[in-house]
Amino acid sequence: MEQQRCVEKRSSKPKKQILINAHTKEVRIAILEDGQLVEFYVERKGDRGIVGNIYKGRVIKIVPAVQAAFVDIGISKKAFLYVRDAVTLEFEEEDDLFDETTQTQEIELPSIEEVLSEGQEVLVQVSKEPIGTKGPRITTNITIPGHYLVLLPTVNKIGISRRITDESERERLKEIAEKIKPEEYGIIVRTAAEGATEEDLNKDLDYILKVWKGLTEKSENRPPPSLLYQDLEIVPKTLRDLLTEDVSEVIIDSRAEFERAINFAKAFIPKLAGRIKYYNKDISLFQRFEVEKAIEKALSRKVYLPNGG
């Protein structure tokens, strides 16, 4: 999935919309704030990315010079595992691992030879897509995302998204998290959980625990390299990760994708399912909201200033 971002600081919460264009050979998703394009995603049909996928791999080569290892995960290019990504992750309590501002704590790292050996089987998750001749970057710090929570099978800790700024709400969510957290795992409370009930979080936790249990059972019964978990396609993934209370509407111009989105939302985000709308007008969705023009400007060599010039 390709992404372009334009970020502008604002003093108050903007009107946020998600537009999904799915009529062509690719699915395009535009995030608007007060009518301005701030994020843009593309996924070509039949060419899904692998970020988020979880594999049972095998270490095929240790490279001490760069403190990393090559891992066979069953695709054409060997995956790259840095020593930092092969040790247990540490994070601050307020961190959301799905938040770009998250900073992991500095820790003293062991050598790659102390952590991995050639021929070793490892459970890994893709964190960066392969680019050019480079294979994907992977990590052993697995995360299983839901809408409200992220399960951390390798870290026994609770974290609250730093984007939830109200202290009383943070404390309320922390109390719920402490109550429902499995003893042996960690969880991150995502931004979408702001205002959610204990029942909402419990349902989300049940779902991601089932996902984790399912892939661990597969891991026990399959030899490496094997794909154990494939992340969602772009439309349900967008709803899972981006449809929050501050999104006023999700507009989709494909009847098939609209119906799939409604079914997904009713199952996992029922409170927000009513915000998903079907678009069927003569003028295309992206033209109606001037997204095509914004994309052209973003790809142009010229820089357009808000007040001209």
In b/e form, how buried is each residue of 197-221, taking b as 16+ CB within 10 angstroms? eeebbebbbebbbeebeebbeebee
Residue 307 lies inside a defined structural domain of this protein: no
Last residue of a domain, one of 229, 264, 285: 229
**Shared domain check, 212 and 64:** yes
pLDDT of residue 196: 95
pLDDT of residue 152: 96
**Shared domain check, 205 and 85:** yes
At 48, give phi and psi (nearest 5°): -70, 145
**pTM for the structure as a whole:** 0.85
**Shared domain check, 210 and 88:** yes
pLDDT of residue 7: 40
Say which CATH number the domain at 225 has.
Answer: 2.40.50.140
Range of the structural domain that residue 140 is part of: 54-229
**Shared domain check, 107 and 198:** yes
Q: What is the pLDDT along the chain (309 residues), one digit of tens a residue?
A: 544 444 444 446 789 999 999 977 899 999 999 999 999 999 987 788 899 999 999 999 999 999 999 999 999 999 999 999 999 866 554 444 444 344 445 568 899 999 999 999 999 999 999 998 999 999 999 999 999 999 999 999 999 999 999 999 999 999 999 999 999 999 999 999 999 999 999 999 999 999 999 999 999 999 999 999 999 999 999 999 999 999 999 999 999 999 999 999 999 999 999 999 999 999 999 999 999 999 888 877 555 555 554
pLDDT of residue 84: 93
| Number of domains into which the chain is organized | 2
